[in-house]
Amino acid sequence: MANPMKIRAAAKDGVTEVKVLMSHEMETGQRKDSSGNLVPAHFITELTATWNGKTVLDAQFGPAVSKNPYLAFKFKGGAKGDKVVVTWKDNKGDSRTDEAAIA
Amino acid sequence: MIKQRREVLKTGGGLGVLGLLAAAGVIKPELALAAWNEGAFKAGTLEKSLAALGAGKPATSGDISINAPDIAENGAVVPIGVSTTLPKVESISILIEKNPDALAATFKLPEGTEANVQTRCKMGQTSNVYALVKADGKFLMAMKEVKVTLGGCGG
């Protein structure tokens, strides 16, 4: 089970800024371990963010996104207390969903 | 360490070629929105990635700005942000020319989401970073060179 994400969402002047820090290896599949074996690729492929059930961001990642990926984006609307839900899925079928209330 | 690094880089190159072959056979431009666009992410070179995204040869636009450092000390964590003032932005993609697979990330922006995203990418070496924006049905692009002092391929 993957570690939880850190999600911060803050509304200001009708715009909500969301910052997400995921906890994931993001292994590229091109690195070798100490005995020379390729480390298999393991990275987040898809990420969806919703606000009140409406999709506000739909992202796809390649292995070139850094370890423990960071993501920031803004959307119009959002009030204090509204929930922002972020879900990611990786190439091994693992997934994780976390939510945060807009501050 | 250095020898290992070379091996890793070499392997990376090899995988890139495999990716090219795969992409040449099964490019499906703008595949279903939900599914991971494997063709584009494993396309290899910048040109092939653009083709796999259905962008072809996009025109350069001065309205797209790439917010990335001129010099990145650590290639494993290069902050890259893309914003644009273009209207009706549908998607933003980040491509790094000299990575084994150029496409790093792509964001679909529903109406109401601002055309302003930031993330962090790995860069194997100094390279041009491209931001591809689809706005009002058209693909436009901007470029910025980021110098890397320590490559990020080794993770």
CA separation for the pair B126, B117 (Å, rounded): 22
HSE (CB half, 13 Å, CA atoms) of B144?
20
- Interface contact A74-B116, CB threshold 8 A: yes
Residue B10 has pLDDT above 70, yes or no: no
For residue A76, the enclosing domain spans 6-28+39-101
CA separation for the pair B108, B101 (Å, rounded): 20
CATH number, domain containing residue A87: 2.60.40.10
How many domains, in total, are found in chain A?
1
- Chain B positions touching A62 (Cβ under 8 A) are 41, 101, 103-105
Which option is the CATH number for B37-148: 3.50.30.30, 2.60.120.860, 3.40.50.300, 2.60.40.2470? 2.60.40.2470
Of the ranges A69-83, A87-101, B28-42, B95-109, which one carries the lowest mean pLDDT score? B28-42
Burial B11-29 (b: 16+ CB within 10 A, else e): bbeebbeebbeebeeebee
At residue B55's C-alpha, the angle toward residues B139 and A64, to 5°, is: 100
What's this model's pTM, rounded to 2 decimal places?
A: 0.82
Specify if A71 maps to a domain.
yes
Give residue B11's pLDDT band: very low, low, confident or very high (50, 70, 90).
low
Give the per-residue pLDDT at A24. Answer: 94
pLDDT in tens, B130-155: 999 999 999 999 999 999 987 665 54
- Interface contact B114-A73, CB threshold 8 A: yes
Chain A interface with B: residues with Cβ < 8 Å? 15, 26-32, 36, 38, 45-46, 54-67, 69-77, 91
Give the per-residue pLDDT at B67. Answer: 96
Asked whether B34 and B111 are in contact (CB, 8 A), the reply is: no
Interface predicted TM-score of the whole assembly (ipTM), two decimals = 0.93
